[in-house]
Amino acid sequence: MIEISNLSFSYGAKRVLENISLKVSEGNIYGLLGENGVGKTTLLTLLCGLKKPESGTITVDGRNPFDREPSLLADQFYLPDEVIPVHARAIDFAKEHGVFWPHFDLEKFRTILSEFEVEPEQRMDAMSAGQLKKAWVSFALACNAKYYYLDEPTNGLDIPSKAQFRKAVTKYTSEDSALIISTHQVRDLENIIDPIIILDNRAVLVNASVQEITDKLFFDYGSELNPGALYLEQTPGGCIQVYPNTSGEESKVNVEAFFNAVHAHKDLVRSMFNQQ
Protein backbone atom coordinates (compact mmCIF):
# COMPACT_ATOMS: atom_id res chain seq x y z
CA MET A 1 0.00 0.00 0.00
CA ILE A 2 1.25 3.46 -0.94
CA GLU A 3 -0.10 6.31 1.17
CA ILE A 4 0.49 9.95 0.26
CA SER A 5 -0.60 12.55 2.79
CA ASN A 6 -0.56 16.34 2.29
CA LEU A 7 2.40 16.08 -0.08
CA SER A 8 3.90 19.31 -1.41
CA PHE A 9 6.90 19.91 -3.65
CA SER A 10 8.41 22.95 -5.34
CA TYR A 11 11.17 23.74 -7.80
CA GLY A 12 12.48 26.91 -6.25
CA ALA A 13 9.62 29.40 -6.20
CA LYS A 14 7.47 27.24 -8.48
CA ARG A 15 5.03 25.06 -6.53
CA VAL A 16 4.25 21.88 -8.49
CA LEU A 17 2.38 19.70 -5.99
CA GLU A 18 0.40 21.10 -3.06
CA ASN A 19 -1.24 19.07 -0.29
CA ILE A 20 -1.65 15.99 -2.48
CA SER A 21 -3.26 13.02 -0.70
CA LEU A 22 -4.12 9.65 -2.22
CA LYS A 23 -3.75 5.91 -1.73
CA VAL A 24 -2.48 3.30 -4.17
CA SER A 25 -3.40 -0.32 -3.62
CA GLU A 26 -1.76 -3.51 -4.86
CA GLY A 27 -3.30 -5.43 -7.72
CA ASN A 28 -4.07 -2.39 -9.88
CA ILE A 29 -2.65 -0.63 -12.93
CA TYR A 30 -3.19 3.08 -12.28
CA GLY A 31 -3.31 5.56 -15.12
CA LEU A 32 -1.74 8.87 -14.05
CA LEU A 33 -3.08 11.61 -16.32
CA GLY A 34 -2.70 15.36 -16.51
CA GLU A 35 -1.59 18.20 -18.72
CA ASN A 36 2.08 19.10 -19.12
CA GLY A 37 3.61 20.62 -16.02
CA VAL A 38 1.10 19.40 -13.42
CA GLY A 39 3.68 17.20 -11.67
CA LYS A 40 3.19 13.67 -12.99
CA THR A 41 6.90 12.93 -13.41
CA THR A 42 7.67 14.75 -10.17
CA LEU A 43 5.19 12.55 -8.32
CA LEU A 44 6.77 9.39 -9.74
CA THR A 45 10.26 10.48 -8.73
CA LEU A 46 9.01 11.32 -5.25
CA LEU A 47 7.40 7.88 -4.98
CA CYS A 48 10.60 6.07 -5.87
CA GLY A 49 12.72 8.22 -3.54
CA LEU A 50 14.70 10.25 -6.08
CA LYS A 51 13.29 13.48 -4.64
CA LYS A 52 12.41 14.53 -1.10
CA PRO A 53 8.99 16.00 -0.29
CA GLU A 54 8.99 19.62 0.74
CA SER A 55 6.25 18.75 3.23
CA GLY A 56 3.84 15.94 3.84
CA THR A 57 4.62 12.23 3.77
CA ILE A 58 4.89 9.25 1.46
CA THR A 59 4.94 5.73 2.84
CA VAL A 60 5.33 2.55 0.79
CA ASP A 61 4.40 -0.44 2.96
CA GLY A 62 5.19 1.79 5.94
CA ARG A 63 8.59 2.88 4.62
CA ASN A 64 9.82 6.29 3.50
CA PRO A 65 11.11 5.97 -0.10
CA PHE A 66 13.60 8.82 0.35
CA ASP A 67 15.42 6.75 2.97
CA ARG A 68 16.47 4.51 0.05
CA GLU A 69 16.31 1.34 2.12
CA PRO A 70 17.70 -1.59 0.07
CA SER A 71 14.64 -3.70 0.90
CA LEU A 72 12.33 -1.08 -0.63
CA LEU A 73 14.61 -0.42 -3.61
CA ALA A 74 14.45 -4.14 -4.38
CA ASP A 75 10.64 -3.92 -4.36
CA GLN A 76 10.30 -1.11 -6.90
CA PHE A 77 11.26 -0.07 -10.42
CA TYR A 78 11.14 3.41 -11.93
CA LEU A 79 11.25 3.65 -15.72
CA PRO A 80 11.73 7.22 -16.96
CA ASP A 81 10.42 8.50 -20.28
CA GLU A 82 13.94 8.84 -21.71
CA VAL A 83 15.89 5.61 -21.20
CA ILE A 84 19.66 5.25 -21.32
CA PRO A 85 21.35 3.66 -24.38
CA VAL A 86 23.73 1.53 -22.30
CA HIS A 87 27.09 0.61 -23.87
CA ALA A 88 26.46 -3.14 -23.53
CA ARG A 89 24.55 -6.04 -25.03
CA ALA A 90 21.04 -6.32 -23.62
CA ILE A 91 21.67 -9.77 -22.16
CA ASP A 92 24.93 -8.66 -20.49
CA PHE A 93 23.24 -5.61 -19.01
CA ALA A 94 20.48 -7.81 -17.61
CA LYS A 95 22.95 -10.29 -16.08
CA GLU A 96 24.98 -7.52 -14.46
CA HIS A 97 22.15 -5.36 -13.12
CA GLY A 98 19.42 -7.91 -12.44
CA VAL A 99 21.20 -8.96 -9.24
CA PHE A 100 19.92 -5.82 -7.53
CA TRP A 101 16.38 -7.23 -7.65
CA PRO A 102 16.18 -10.50 -5.70
CA HIS A 103 13.35 -11.86 -7.85
CA PHE A 104 14.92 -10.99 -11.20
CA ASP A 105 14.30 -13.72 -13.80
CA LEU A 106 16.76 -13.82 -16.71
CA GLU A 107 14.68 -16.30 -18.69
CA LYS A 108 11.65 -14.05 -18.29
CA PHE A 109 13.77 -11.20 -19.65
CA ARG A 110 14.67 -13.30 -22.71
CA THR A 111 11.02 -14.29 -23.20
CA ILE A 112 9.68 -10.74 -23.09
CA LEU A 113 12.47 -9.53 -25.38
CA SER A 114 11.53 -12.26 -27.84
CA GLU A 115 7.88 -11.23 -27.73
CA PHE A 116 9.01 -7.66 -28.41
CA GLU A 117 11.14 -8.98 -31.31
CA VAL A 118 14.37 -7.60 -29.86
CA GLU A 119 17.59 -9.64 -29.99
CA PRO A 120 19.21 -10.14 -26.55
CA GLU A 121 22.69 -10.08 -28.14
CA GLN A 122 22.11 -6.64 -29.64
CA ARG A 123 23.96 -3.70 -28.13
CA MET A 124 21.60 -1.30 -26.40
CA ASP A 125 23.46 1.76 -27.69
CA ALA A 126 22.94 0.47 -31.25
CA MET A 127 19.17 0.00 -30.90
CA SER A 128 16.52 2.26 -32.34
CA ALA A 129 14.54 4.35 -29.85
CA GLY A 130 11.67 1.86 -29.96
CA GLN A 131 13.91 -1.19 -29.52
CA LEU A 132 15.68 0.47 -26.60
CA LYS A 133 12.39 1.28 -24.87
CA LYS A 134 11.27 -2.33 -25.32
CA ALA A 135 14.56 -3.63 -23.90
CA TRP A 136 14.11 -1.49 -20.79
CA VAL A 137 10.46 -2.50 -20.39
CA SER A 138 11.54 -6.16 -20.66
CA PHE A 139 14.18 -5.65 -18.00
CA ALA A 140 11.74 -3.85 -15.70
CA LEU A 141 9.13 -6.60 -15.92
CA ALA A 142 11.76 -9.31 -15.43
CA CYS A 143 12.67 -7.70 -12.09
CA ASN A 144 9.35 -8.95 -10.68
CA ALA A 145 9.03 -5.83 -8.53
CA LYS A 146 6.03 -5.05 -6.38
CA TYR A 147 5.79 -1.37 -7.33
CA TYR A 148 6.30 -0.01 -10.83
CA TYR A 149 6.46 3.66 -11.75
CA LEU A 150 6.41 3.99 -15.55
CA ASP A 151 6.70 7.42 -17.17
CA GLU A 152 5.30 7.54 -20.73
CA PRO A 153 6.30 3.91 -21.45
CA THR A 154 4.65 3.82 -24.90
CA ASN A 155 6.53 6.85 -26.23
CA GLY A 156 8.69 5.74 -29.14
CA LEU A 157 6.75 2.52 -29.73
CA ASP A 158 5.04 1.76 -33.04
CA ILE A 159 1.46 0.48 -33.18
CA PRO A 160 2.28 -3.27 -32.99
CA SER A 161 4.72 -2.61 -30.13
CA LYS A 162 2.06 -0.75 -28.15
CA ALA A 163 -0.15 -3.82 -28.37
CA GLN A 164 2.81 -5.97 -27.27
CA PHE A 165 3.38 -3.60 -24.34
CA ARG A 166 -0.21 -3.92 -23.13
CA LYS A 167 0.01 -7.70 -23.39
CA ALA A 168 3.35 -7.83 -21.56
CA VAL A 169 2.21 -5.60 -18.69
CA THR A 170 -0.92 -7.66 -18.03
CA LYS A 171 0.82 -11.00 -18.54
CA TYR A 172 4.10 -10.48 -16.70
CA THR A 173 3.14 -8.54 -13.56
CA SER A 174 1.83 -10.33 -10.50
CA GLU A 175 -1.59 -9.88 -8.93
CA ASP A 176 -0.08 -8.18 -5.88
CA SER A 177 1.89 -5.61 -7.90
CA ALA A 178 0.87 -1.97 -8.19
CA LEU A 179 1.70 -0.06 -11.36
CA ILE A 180 1.42 3.68 -11.84
CA ILE A 181 1.69 4.62 -15.51
CA SER A 182 2.00 8.29 -16.39
CA THR A 183 0.85 8.91 -19.94
CA HIS A 184 -0.51 11.36 -22.47
CA GLN A 185 -1.22 8.47 -24.84
CA VAL A 186 -4.47 7.44 -23.17
CA ARG A 187 -5.72 5.54 -26.20
CA ASP A 188 -2.65 3.31 -25.99
CA LEU A 189 -3.52 2.23 -22.46
CA GLU A 190 -7.22 2.77 -21.78
CA ASN A 191 -7.98 -0.96 -21.92
CA ILE A 192 -5.55 -1.78 -19.10
CA ILE A 193 -5.52 1.22 -16.73
CA ASP A 194 -7.89 1.05 -13.77
CA PRO A 195 -8.13 3.12 -11.52
CA ILE A 196 -7.51 6.54 -13.09
CA ILE A 197 -5.77 9.44 -11.33
CA ILE A 198 -6.01 12.93 -12.83
CA LEU A 199 -3.71 15.68 -11.55
CA ASP A 200 -4.29 19.36 -12.19
CA ASN A 201 -2.55 22.49 -10.94
CA ARG A 202 -1.13 20.89 -7.78
CA ALA A 203 -4.36 19.03 -6.97
CA VAL A 204 -5.87 15.57 -7.42
CA LEU A 205 -9.04 15.98 -9.47
CA VAL A 206 -9.95 12.29 -9.58
CA ASN A 207 -8.69 9.03 -8.12
CA ALA A 208 -11.37 6.52 -9.07
CA SER A 209 -11.86 3.06 -10.50
CA VAL A 210 -13.50 2.57 -13.88
CA GLN A 211 -16.54 1.15 -12.09
CA GLU A 212 -16.81 4.26 -9.91
CA ILE A 213 -16.52 6.44 -13.01
CA THR A 214 -19.29 4.61 -14.87
CA ASP A 215 -21.46 4.64 -11.75
CA LYS A 216 -21.37 8.43 -11.78
CA LEU A 217 -20.99 9.28 -15.46
CA PHE A 218 -22.55 7.90 -18.63
CA PHE A 219 -20.61 7.64 -21.89
CA ASP A 220 -23.00 7.97 -24.82
CA TYR A 221 -21.84 7.02 -28.31
CA GLY A 222 -25.10 7.82 -30.12
CA SER A 223 -26.21 10.76 -32.25
CA GLU A 224 -28.92 12.34 -30.09
CA LEU A 225 -27.51 15.35 -28.24
CA ASN A 226 -27.97 15.52 -24.49
CA PRO A 227 -28.38 19.10 -23.14
CA GLY A 228 -26.76 18.09 -19.86
CA ALA A 229 -23.56 16.81 -21.45
CA LEU A 230 -20.38 17.76 -19.59
CA TYR A 231 -18.37 17.01 -22.71
CA LEU A 232 -19.32 16.44 -26.33
CA GLU A 233 -17.13 15.55 -29.30
CA GLN A 234 -18.32 14.99 -32.83
CA THR A 235 -17.23 11.74 -34.47
CA PRO A 236 -17.70 10.43 -38.02
CA GLY A 237 -20.60 8.23 -36.91
CA GLY A 238 -22.23 10.63 -34.47
CA CYS A 239 -20.69 11.87 -31.23
CA ILE A 240 -19.28 10.89 -27.86
CA GLN A 241 -20.97 12.56 -24.89
CA VAL A 242 -20.29 12.40 -21.17
CA TYR A 243 -23.03 13.32 -18.72
CA PRO A 244 -24.14 12.42 -15.19
CA ASN A 245 -25.43 8.86 -14.93
CA THR A 246 -28.86 9.48 -13.42
CA SER A 247 -30.38 6.21 -14.68
CA GLY A 248 -27.76 3.77 -13.39
CA GLU A 249 -27.06 2.42 -16.88
CA GLU A 250 -23.76 0.77 -17.76
CA SER A 251 -21.45 2.28 -20.37
CA LYS A 252 -17.86 1.95 -21.58
CA VAL A 253 -15.43 4.59 -20.40
CA ASN A 254 -13.69 6.66 -23.05
CA VAL A 255 -10.68 7.86 -21.08
CA GLU A 256 -9.89 10.78 -23.37
CA ALA A 257 -13.48 12.03 -23.21
CA PHE A 258 -13.49 11.53 -19.44
CA PHE A 259 -10.29 13.56 -19.11
CA ASN A 260 -11.77 16.40 -21.17
CA ALA A 261 -15.02 16.32 -19.18
CA VAL A 262 -13.06 16.55 -15.93
CA HIS A 263 -11.09 19.55 -17.16
CA ALA A 264 -14.18 21.33 -18.40
CA HIS A 265 -15.98 20.91 -15.04
CA LYS A 266 -13.26 20.55 -12.41
CA ASP A 267 -15.16 21.60 -9.31
CA LEU A 268 -18.23 19.58 -10.23
CA VAL A 269 -16.25 16.42 -10.96
CA ARG A 270 -14.11 16.78 -7.84
CA SER A 271 -17.25 17.00 -5.74
CA MET A 272 -18.76 13.99 -7.54
CA PHE A 273 -15.70 11.89 -6.69
CA ASN A 274 -15.25 13.38 -3.21
CA GLN A 275 -11.85 14.91 -3.91
CA GLN A 276 -11.16 17.65 -1.40
Strand arrangement, sheet containing 231-235: 217-220, 238-244, 231-235
104 and 238 co-located in one domain: no
201 and 224 co-located in one domain: no
214 and 137 co-located in one domain: no
Number of domains in the chain: 2
56 and 127 co-located in one domain: yes
Give the C-alpha separation, 237 to 241, whole Å. Answer: 13
182 and 233 co-located in one domain: no
3-class secondary-structure state, position 238: strand
Question: 205-229: string of b/e by CB count within 10 Å (b at 16+)?
Answer: bbbbebebbbeebbbbeeeeeeeeb
Angle between helices 106-115 and 90-97 (to 10 degrees): 150
250 and 158 co-located in one domain: no
Most distant CA pair in the chain, distance: 60
104 and 146 co-located in one domain: yes
Of 173, 206, 239, the last residue of a domain is 206
Nearest 5°: phi and psi at 184? -100, -15
196 and 143 co-located in one domain: yes
Domain span at residue 42 reads 2-206
Reading the chain (276 residues) residue by residue, the pLDDT tens digits are 999 999 999 998 888 999 999 999 999 999 999 998 899 999 999 999 999 999 999 999 999 999 999 999 999 999 999 999 999 999 999 999 999 999 999 999 999 999 999 999 999 999 999 999 999 999 999 999 999 999 999 998 999 999 999 999 999 999 999 999 999 888 889 899 999 999 987 789 999 999 999 999 999 998 888 888 999 998 887 899 999 999 999 999 999 999 999 999 998 988 898 765
CATH number at residue 169: 3.40.50.300
